[in-house]
């Protein structure tokens, strides 16, 4: 039996509406935050569709809860 010492973390993506439920800012503030480097850049999955890694958003939530920006 093999034991894994690292926690399992689901790998997935969030689209913008979901991101904005977790980070309560306006759409324009979110995009400005990406431009300024405060928020993680998304990944283009289609010409007009961007998604963010769940791990990036969860890490951002944890950092914001600790008072960091």
User: What CA–CA distance (Å, rounded) separates 7 from 58?
Assistant: 15
| H-run or E-run covering 38 | none
Over the stretch 22-39, which tens digit does the pLDDT of each residue have?
999 999 999 999 999 999
Q: What is the pTM of this model?
A: 0.78
- pLDDT for residue 37: 96
Where exactly are the structural domains of the chain? 13-65
Query: Which residue in this structure is represented by tokens 């969860």?
Result: 58
Residues in the chain: 69
- pLDDT for residue 11: 81
Number of H helices, E strands in the chain: 3, 3
């Amino acid at each position: 039996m093999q034991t894994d010492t690292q926690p399992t973390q689901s790998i997935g993506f969030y689209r913008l509406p979901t991101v904005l439920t977790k980070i309560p800012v306006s759409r324009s503030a979110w995009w400005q935050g990406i431009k300024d480097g405060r928020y993680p850049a998304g990944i283009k999955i289609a010409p007009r569709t961007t998604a963010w890694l769940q791990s990036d958003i969860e890490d951002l939530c944890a950092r914001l809860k600790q008072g960091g920006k």
